[in-house]
A and B are shown apart, each in its own frame.
Chain A
Amino acid sequence: MRRHVFALIDCNNFYVSCERAFNAAIQNKPVIVLSNNDGCVVARSNEVKKLGVKMGQPVFECQALIKQHGIQVFSSNYSLYADMSDRVMAILSTFSPRMEVYSIDEAFLELTDLCINDLTEFGRTIKSKLQQYTGIPVSVGIAPTKSLTKIANEMVKKEPQFGGVLDLTRLSDQEIDEILARVAIEDVWGIGPKYALFLRNYGISTAKDLKYADEKWVRRHLTVTGARIVFELRGIACIPLEEERPPKQGIMCAKTFGREITSLEEMQEAITTYAARAVEKLRDQDSLTSCLTIFIKTNPFQKNSEQYSNSFTMNIPHPTAFTPDILKYALEGLSVMYREGYRYYKAGVYLTKLSPQSSIQPDLFGEFSLSQHYKQAHLMAIVDAINKIYGRDTLIFAIQGITRSWKMRQLRLSSHFTTNWSEILTI
């Protein structure tokens, strides 16, 4: 059977590394990046991990440590992270014709047919090129299956001796088993907490235990997915590269407010702002929508205040990507379901039934005209172009509101260094 070779490239503390790439003052300082609304810790530098700050920990719990150790705190700057991710992925794609972008900061490369002699050296080349071009440090795990690249990558992060690259294909079976014995079953790729508990009941507590699980037992007790993982740990590739992500079937824009909203006017601003953003994304992928869902909700964690949540779905007679149309429907929907007297903390807009822009059909019976559609598309293209050049929200619709004091809290946002001319790095 043909032996496969995969590499998993994972950016180290990606959001922190993006901030560091444009900030000379925080190179060796402890750094954290917060979630939307500056609520929880979503990225930590190695210094912060050593201090015991946990992933997802609420920031108020860390205030003492932040003060004591001078931890540098940033709001999440998603435009910057997305641009840096695009750069990383474009550079990675030059190393193999077959690649799977797994998340904003991880990608698999298939190296099977590339006849690379020294895979460790190949991994180092990838790492140093990314470091030089983007300033982002990465870890590289190389192995005959995707599951094993995950384990190699974790090992690289734990053990500085590997210098950021570990190639399992050059290790003996015994050496690989020694590594697998150190990986807890919960940390195996694809094993959820419940499944891990189930396996532990049968005495399987490490990746090595699972690898050597009895064949008959595997067939009787594991799901297809579980059995696949067993094979992957044995070095037999069962999880193929997913090169094509299916086009998005729906576009969502939903956010928690910076503070609770208690008036219809403010809720109209929020809903239309999210709707406008969603339609912008829709146009960006050259799609039209013919179904709009909006929802609003109070904070379920505020146990002592009155709860209300509702959603409303509308079919749109003609597929569109024209913001004023969508805003009109969104406001109609909101007026139906909005109730006074509640403290709302989140709202969202969801566009579905997407079709490609090119599939637009003229309507024989009048209401919709093709030339009208093109006029609208042209107007939107101008709005998008202006917002692209002069920064998001240069042109907005009046209903979206000017002050928007309910907006996400992002008190420690760094500049959009790579996506806005007025915010580029100044030295």
Chain B
Amino acid sequence: MTSQDAHLSSVPAGFPSPADDYKANKLDLDELVIHNPQATYYIRVRGNSMKNAGIADGDIVVVDRSLDATHNAIIVAVLNGGFTLKRLYYKDGARYLVPANRLYKPIKVTQGMEFHVWGVVTYCIHRVK
């Protein structure tokens, strides 16, 4: 059946549906996870360094570049010519990139490093098997 057929078959022949006045839009995932479409990007995560923050190998994270990276935010950063996904920590005036997995070590951001925040992670899309 085409959408055109569907349209034709809904031509009223009997009593109008009592639900007609209460029709609302279907739920849209975009509405839930995207607050600023122009600044929103998707990134696939490889590795387990953020496992304990609920981000597993193969997950897709939603990254919003319009947000400012505050203490404790999970961020995507450019670090010495590569991207990295870590939790941003401020301590005693220094910045740290902290993994959420004991097998990995925190990185202290120092003067000589090429470092800037690329975006802030807002959601994680995880496939449940």
Contacts and interface: CB of A to CB of B under 8 A. Distances in A.
B82 A24 contact: yes
Interface string B28-47: 00000000111101111110
A202 interface: no
B87 interface: no
Given A91-B38, A133-B36, A135-B118, A427 B4 contact: no
Contacts of A91: 38
Contacts of B79: 24
B31 to A, nearest CB: 17
A24 B83 contact: yes
B61 to A, nearest CB: 9
B66 A378 contact: no
B44 A424 contact: yes
Contacts of B85: 427
Contacts of B38: 87, 90-91, 133-134
A378 B4 contact: yes
Contacts of A264: none
Nearest to B76: A427
Interface in A109-148: 132-135
A244 B1 CA distance: 39
Nearest to B2: A378
A425 B83 contact: yes
B114 A134 contact: no
Contacts of B82: 24-25, 427
Interface string B106-129: 000000001000100000000000
B44 A135 contact: no
A418 interface: yes
A28 B114 CA distance: 10
Contact of B60 (A90, A132, A135, A424): A424
Nearest to A425: B43
A375 B43 contact: no
B120 to A, nearest CB: 11
Nearest to B47: A427
Interface in A375-427: 375, 378, 417-418, 421, 424-427
Contacts of B36: 133
A424 B43 contact: yes
A371 B4 CA distance: 8
A133 B65 contact: yes
B84 A427 contact: yes
A424 B42 contact: yes
B12 interface: no
Nearest to A426: B44
Contacts of B4: 371, 374-375, 378
8 contacts: A87-B38, A90-B38, A134-B39, A371-B4, A374-B2, A378-B4, A427-B43, A427-B45
Interface of A: 24-25, 27-28, 87, 90-91, 132-135, 371, 374-375, 378, 417-418, 421, 424-427
Interface of B: 2-4, 36-39, 41-46, 60, 65-66, 76, 78-79, 81-85, 114, 118
